[in-house]
Chains A and B, each alone.
Chain A
Amino acid sequence: MKKNLLKGLMALTLALLLITLAGCGQEEASTNEETNEGGSPETTFNYPTKPITIINPFSAGGPADNTSRFLAHHAEDYVGTSIVVENRDGGSGTIGQTAGANADPDGYTLTLITSSIVSNPLFNNVTYTHESFEPIIMTVNDPFYLVVNPDAPFDDIESFMKYAKENPGQITLGSSGTDTVPAFTLRELALEEDIDITMIPHDGEAYAVAAAAGGHIDGLVGNFSGFESQFNSGQLKPILIFDNERSELAPDVPTSEEAGIDIISGSWRGIAAPAGTDPEVVAYLHEKFKETTENEEYQNQMKNAGIDMSYRGPEDFKEIIQDTYNRYDMFTQE
């Protein structure tokens, strides 16, 4: 009885080994063929055959997390395989991005990308650049707000500027991390307006919101969804939106254009593959993700979570990323 079981197990292991080996051989054969014939079009498009992982370089629960989770959840039906969101947060997003940029470009490891794929390589010593990513789809463009505690010695953008000029370094504003886009927006504001602000990096937007609502810091720069509860309860007051259009969500908040501040900043978010991914795979994913974003249930969830949807295809998205790079790079020269 025992012997039979052992034999059976051995046979099973052997069979599994053979199958794997055969699979490897096939793969090799097909790549050989491709190189021999210069990328023969005969190789059938066989994707996806296993689950896809989307690396989210930020912590679970935030707006970035929801962006990836809502998409992943609904896209499973369209893409035809399960999609897993993996939070690899830390180091202002560089950890997950490093993993995403260095992943095999086989279309099974994607990354949720934000403007931080541009700013992180500029400010940190990392092994990737924004060009390490092949954009697939932009799904979100969420403008940033300057939000202040109502007890702070200013309650609109004019008095904020006046106070900042008279009290250099006295205003403390939180950001979601050191070299995150909100932090960058703050630096840009300080530079443009020639004011001195003390930036306090936190371990994610939620903690910056808590610190500002508690009056430990004067305010923060962040997305609407992050401070919505505090906005509704009056614990935090947005005084500026870094956009050229007022938002329906907070129509009383003046735009940076109205305030004469030449900064437009938002967090665009989307999905990208590692550079070098088969264009066919990118096109396939784009098509399926686009169909997903047109799904009504997906749209409702995004609206519920207070996230501004905004679609762009791979080419347009690439341009937006390059624009962001040009802006930030000029800034680093100064």
Chain B
Amino acid sequence: MVDVWLGAFATVFTVPNILAILLGVLFGVFTGSLPGLSSTMALAILIPFTFTMDPATGLILLGAVYSASVYAGSLSAILLNTPGTPSAAATVLDGYPLTRQGLSAKAIGISAIASGIGGIISVIILSTVAPFLALQSLRFGAPEYFALAIFGLTIISSLAGKNPWKGLLAGGLGIVIATVGMDPIQGYPRYTFGRAELLEGFALIPVLIGLFSASQAFHLMISSKSSKSSGPDISNVTGNVLPRLKEIRKLLPNIARSSIIGTGIGIIPGVGTDPAAFIAYNEAKRWSKEKEKFGKGSLHGLAAPEASNNAVTGGSLIPLLTLGIPGNAVSAVFLGGLLIHGLRPGAELFTASGDIVYALFFSLFVANILVIIIGLSGARVFSKVLVVKPVVLGPIILLLSIVGSFAIGNNYYDIWVMLAFGVIGYMLRKYGFPLAPIVLALILGPKAEQSFSQSMLISQNDWTIFFTRPISVTFLVLAIITFITPFILDRRAKNS
């Protein structure tokens, strides 16, 4: 084992591979932080370049981009109230309130540390017990997916803030939006009005860019016009970048738990970074003694999704490398990168091509440390974006939103979808509806539907299948608890 790691160390610390990590992290931070450019897109752009590279260098580059882009989505989430990648949608919840308190530099510092630790923990898990965990991931059949999706959906009630009903309504809206397009089992077109563009339903990324980025752009443009001095002056950044040791120590259990949640969700094929971030956020809130601080700039609420979504990167590589089953869109692109070099996923990959695989693991470790360094050293520079006047910032975000939604499918139609959801998002914000429930419903709604239908086919319409399987029951119980807790708390708060 020691010589494997020494070999990996030697492979990583060569000029081309260190360069690959550096460039990969920089490219990842760049694409990740711009609203509209997602991790999947960043990897897809680079894949053709890796064809001609040395296998280890190519994979190291992809791994670095993957880690860094998932992290960097938090930068615009914290600073601009618009997630750079969908996986940072949960980071907005407490990241932006911190910026409004003038603590943006500190928030960026904490998110970098949490992301880095999350990534590193997942790499450690990946490099030690991957084959064992991969087998566990196979225990997820259709009923387990259904229960997990339902559990994820119930988090909506705790994301709602002051008014759980508004959260539920927003979640309902998300599910309605998600029903547009062909159904996953019969292929029957729903609410498509005969339009081919709608067969696929609304593409997730333009909808999210619209809801978060464009609506924020509209908000900036409109509010700066109506009143010269709206809200507090947030360009005055106070507080240290480097959190105090005491603060980190307080955050560590939360970061560790979130990293394990992220890795665990990452292992299950087809769930991905976005729900992982929300689930970690929800658990952080559940175990916190200061629940009321969540959504108003809680450091725990910031660290949890950041640790979790970066932990997904390592987690999602587990079924990919050991079973050849890609856990999300990004790792599917990664699989292409493996196969091109003749690296076949499976247990033998770790022995036959151990040098390359462990070099990849070690490089992920290095990339995550780089993420921490870049986040901490760049926090003040990144915060400079707040000096830009809203009147200027609004159009820039809108322009990036347009470019980003067009770039996904080179499709003008996506721009219109994005703008329409920008208007919807703006109205929802204005009337105090939370946006996060819509994201969760959009992602998990279709998963719940498909796995429900699959379960019914498998069990021949016997719905007890959800209650006779231990994993499924566990998630359903968690779902009930998660769903009713905010309502109980709400009532208690009103009574007292």
Contacts and interface: CB of A to CB of B under 8 A. Distances in A.
Say if A and B assemble together: yes
Interface of A: 53, 59-62, 65-66, 69-70, 73, 86, 88, 90-92, 94-95, 98-99, 102, 123-125, 127, 169, 172, 177-179, 198-203, 206-207, 209-211, 213-217, 228-230, 232-233, 235, 300-301, 304-306
A182 B287 CA distance: 47
Contacts of A124: 187
A163 to B, nearest CB: 16
B347 A198 contact: no
A229 B142 CA distance: 21
B454 A198 contact: no
B458 A172 contact: yes
Nearest to B44: A60
A90 B200 contact: yes
B329 interface: yes
A73 B336 CA distance: 12
Given A61-B336, A92-B182, 16 more contacts: A60-B332, A60-B333, A61-B335, A86-B410, A94-B182, A95-B200, A99-B196, A178-B185, A200-B458, A203-B270, A206-B324, A207-B325, A209-B325, A214-B140, A217-B141, A304-B339
Interface in B129-169: 137-142
A93 B400 CA distance: 30
Contacts of B428: none
A203 B336 contact: no
Interface string B239-268: 000000000000000000000000000000
Contacts of B324: 206, 209, 228-230
B454 A200 contact: yes
Contacts of B457: 172, 198-200
B292 interface: no
Interface in B297-334: 319, 322-326, 329, 331-334
B323 A213 contact: yes
Contact of A70 (B334, B340, B348): B340
The interface centre, meaning the residue of A66, A125, A235 with most chain B CB atoms within 10 A of its CB, is A125
Given A210-B323, A211-B141, A61 B460 contact: no
A60 B319 CA distance: 16
B342 A304 contact: yes
B458 A232 contact: no
Contacts of A99: 196
Contact of A60 (B199, B200, B329): B329
Contacts of B141: 211, 214-217
B417 to A, nearest CB: 15
Nearest to A301: B340
Given A91-B182, A200-B458, A213-B323, A304 B340 contact: yes
Interface in B256-304: 269-270
Contacts of B333: 60-61
A-B interface, 3 closest residue pairs, ranked by CB to CB distance from nearest: A216-B141, A61-B332, A214-B138
Contact of A228 (B319, B332, B344, B409): B344
B51 A229 contact: no
Contacts of B348: 232
B186 interface: yes
B48 A73 contact: yes
B138 A305 contact: no
Contact of B460 (A73, A88, A198, A211): A198
Contacts of A66: 336, 339-340
B7 interface: no
A66 to B, nearest CB: 6
The interface centre, meaning the residue of A59, A73, A210, A233 with most chain B CB atoms within 10 A of its CB, is A210
Contacts of B182: 90-92, 94-95
Given A61-B333, A209-B325, A232-B348, A179 B187 contact: yes
A70 B48 CA distance: 9
Given A86-B409, A124-B187, A73 B196 contact: no
B16 interface: no
Contacts of A172: 457-458
A214 B139 contact: yes
Nearest to A99: B196
Nearest to B329: A60
B172 interface: no
A217 B458 contact: yes
Contacts of A230: 323-324
A125 B184 CA distance: 15
A51 to B, nearest CB: 10
A230 B196 CA distance: 37
